Each structure stands twice: as structure tokens, then as C-alpha cells.
Chain A
């Protein structure tokens, strides 16, 4: 069994005429937490959707366990998805079901286990995210952080090999942020998962990731362990990591020269 679970080779993806990724390659090691960072609007969520087979790339391969996801037929794609979990930014809990039924949903859909076993599995997953006591609540009654944890319990319900987190820290208070940081790391180790975290929260990501890719301008501009990245020579990577407002990524949106525009108005 190779060490690499997900192997993205020469990926090109366009949305209309806009190129999102241009000949990009990355690899996610089995059993590790790999993070993908980059400024907002560069299509980090798109990358997760490409891995999940919800979008098809223009060119390139996305290999998971050696299977090229974009070329799979519907049946094989759905089979491959059973080994993936994805945590959406909003949680995407089904609003007409309780927390318990949400977590039980994938188990009921894909197995024919008796209800007692399902109950055991659901309570186990809810215990792992600390929400065993909230099983009877409806999603609307949960706080943002709790909803994300409940969605996490659902994403790991069928013990996937790969779990993808879409901006797991966005909009969280410091406590729930800490809880989620700890959960991502501990679930990864306890369940032997391979985790992919897409985020732009530099400090949190650097604290849990084994390997980090920084994506900007349609490709990978820097990669390495968090320590390697901190010492990265690229000015763009440094600007991103340190959160400077101006640098290779300009503060101003592309525009004509300001003085020229003012002169124009004066006329």
C-alpha cells in the first residue's frame, strides 16, 4: 500500500473563462493532516469538490487509492465517496432531522444494520465530538460550533479513509475553534484517518498540520512542513503567513492609476 492516499497530478480547472487551477499537483500522505491554505477566492472549496467528484477538471488526474476520480462511472464514484467524509463550512446538517438522525443517516443509507447497532455507532461518534447529550436537539437549536461538531460526527459515521474539512475554523469563537483544532488532530490519530484541511486561518492550521500547501495564482506557491514554510524564501508565502496587507498580493484591486482617474474627473 502506497504512502500516498490522494495524488493530484497536473490538475487544470476552469470556471467559464476563468482559470482556477493551472497544472497543479499535490499529494496527501496517508494518516497525516495535510492543509491547503491560500487567500480567499482562489477556489479552495472547489478543490475539495474536485476530489469528491462533484466537479470535473479540464485536465489532470485525481487519484485516490489509485482510482482516477474524474473518470469513474456513477456507481464507482458513489462507492468511492463512501470512503470519504466531508465537513462543509455550514455543516450542511439536514434541518428536518434531529442530531441523532443526522449522524445515523449515512449508516442507515449504506448498511442494513439493526437499529441497536446503529444506536451504538451513533452514540460513539457523538461521544467523540462531545455531543452525546445533544442527540435529541434539532440543527436549528445548535450553536454554529456545535452544528459543525455534529456534522463532523456525521462525516465520520462510516469510518471513512479520507476526511475533508472546508474552512472548519471560519466564524468560530476561540473556544469552539480550540475544540475543533483538537478534534481534527485527535480524530486523525485515533481513527487512522487522512485529513485534508482547507483554511486560511494560519495559526490554527500551522499548529495541527503535518504538511502544508500554500495555493495562490492558480498553483502551489509553497509547500512543506509548518517549520519549512516559516522559513520559505517566497515573498508571497511570507506575506500570507504574516498577514501583511500589501506585498506581492496588492492591497488595491486592479484599477487604472488613481492620479490619472482624478485628473479625468477634474476635467
Chain B
């Protein structure tokens, strides 16, 4: 009984490690190549549009609402201590350090990550990847690489847009609705937000999340069992695994950046 459990655990761990190995090989095969800008640039542009621009709406709307909620919640607490003028830094720091990168990554995993997995899984199921290989075109470089770079480039930009819209949302609720002093909102923010400590660290976080989410999404699609059930599983796994990975890495990065 115990031996069986141990065996299962061992098998499970080996399968996981093999999966990670395959994911690394996939990324290696996709990225380690002589750059061919004439061919790859148009592909990258198309993917930037599909992955980045098409995610813009959900990012804008969520950013606005999260900023508004932050201001509302922050105001009720801060006003108890007569510290309403600190609403600007509260909204800006929460968004820059945490919510911007994390929520963007979670939304990105749900919106773009799942789409990437399903697209690549279906390409595999309909033999498009094999077909490409037989036409002497490497699917890793033609399909995986542009999608990977598009994810890595667009997510930090989306996070910055999310943060900016959130700060404006905070202004809308805090200043325009609840009557916090507008000049105070901006000047306290300016005084308390440090470029390296807050903005740069937030961007670093979001680059790391972009790497994780895009990599997981591409690998799950590429490794999917080429049946309808396999693809649906892979898509679910993309969202679940990358969300958990983002939250886990967020803790580690926060501890390293702001813990000491």
C-alpha cells in the first residue's frame, strides 16, 4: 500500500521533471537560432497584435475598476486617521508594486495564454505542425518563437498601462467623487514613489511573469495530447498552472525586493 503510494509519487515526479525538460528543450529550440529579421519581424508584429493589442480592452477596464476600488477602500481607512492626502501613494504603490504586474499576469493567462495553448494544440491535432516540419520549416522557430517574444514584450507594457489607468481610476473616485485634494493626490504620489524601488521593480516582476505565463502556455499547447479532450485539459492547465506560478513567484520576488 505505502509502496504503491511511493511508486505513484515517484512516477508523478518523474513525469513532472520530464515535462519541464521538454519545456526547456522547446524554448531552447525556439530561441537559439540565427536571427532572420526579414522573416521573423512580420510574424512578431502579427503576434504582438493578437497577444498584446487584443488584450488591451480587458486590461483597461480591469485597471480602471481596480484603481477605483483601491481608492474607495483606501479612503475609508485613511480618513479615519485623517490621512486622506496619502491616498495617491497608496493607490500608486499598490498598483506599481503588486496589483499591476500580478493582475495583468492573471488576466493575460486567462485571455492570451489560454488562446495560445488552444491554438497550438489544435495546430498539432490537425497535423499543421508536422506538415510544417515536412516542408522543412521548423515549427519551433516559425510558431513558438514569435508568440513567445510577443508575450514577453507585451505583458510588461500591458502592466504599465494597467497601472496608469488604475491611478487615473483612483483619481476619479478619490478626487472627483470623494473630494480628496487633487494637488495633494499627485504631489504625495510624486514624493513617495521611487523610480528604482517601485517602478523598476514592478517592471521586473512583470517581465518575469511574462516569461512564466507565455512559456507555460506555449509548452502546454505544444505538449498537448492531440485530441479534443487533451486540448481542453491543456488549456485549463495553462490557466491554473500559470496563475499559481505567478502568485508563487510574486511572493518570492516581493520577499527579495521589499523583504529586507
The yes or no verdict on A and B being binding partners is yes
- Chain A residues with CB under 8 Å of chain B are 49, 52, 54, 78-79, 81-82, 84-86, 88-90, 92-95, 105-106, 109-110, 151, 154
The interface residues of chain A lying within 8 Å CB-to-CB of B39 are: 109
Closest 8 CB pairs of A and B: A92-B131, A81-B136, A92-B127, A86-B134, A78-B136, A82-B136, A106-B135, A88-B127
Label chain A's interface by main secondary structure.
mixed
Task: Note all chain A residues with C-beta closer than 8 A to B136.
Answer: 78-79, 81-82, 106, 109-110
**Contact present for A54 and B137 (CB under 8 Å):** no
CB nearest neighbor in A for B138: A78
- How far is B159's CA from A95's CA once the two chains are assembled, in angstroms? 32
- 12 A-B residue pairs with CB within 8 Å: A52-B133, A52-B134, A81-B134, A85-B134, A86-B134, A88-B131, A92-B127, A92-B128, A94-B128, A105-B137, A109-B135, A151-B131
Residue of A nearest to B135 (CB): A106
Nearest CB in chain B: distance from A245 CB, A:
29
Q: In B57-84, which residues have CB < 8 Å from any A CB?
A: none
Distance in angstroms from A11 CB to nearest chain B CB is 19
Assembly CA distance A94 to B39 (angstroms): 17
Spell out B's residues near A (CB within 8 Å): 39, 126-128, 130-138
In angstroms, Cα B84 to Cα A87, docked, is 70
Residues of A within 8 A of B126 (CB): 90, 92, 95
Q: Considering only CB atoms, which chain B residue lies closest to A86 in the complex?
A: B134
B127 adjacent to A90 (CB under 8 Å): yes
Q: Which residues of A contact B133 (CB under 8 A)?
A: 52, 54, 81
With both beta carbons as reference points, the residue of chain B lying nearest to A158 in the complex is identified as B135
B115 → chain A closest CB, angstroms:
13
B130's contact among A54, A85, A93, A94, by CB below 8 Å, is which?
A54
Q: How far is the CA of A94 from the CA of B128 in the complex (A)?
A: 6
Q: Which residue of chain A has its CB nearest to the CB of B125?
A: A90
Q: How far is the CB of B122 from chain A (nearest CB, A)?
A: 8
Per the bound structure, the CA–CA distance linking A86 and B133 in Å amounts to 10
**Interfacial chain A residues near B134, Cβ < 8 Å:** 52, 54, 81, 84-86
For A49, the closest partner residue in chain B by CB is B130
Which residues of A lie under 8 Å from residue B135 when comparing CB positions? 81, 105-106, 109, 154
Contacts of A79 in B (CB 8 A): 136
Shortest A31–chain B CB gap in Å is 21
Q: Which residue of A lies closest to B142 (CB)?
A: A109
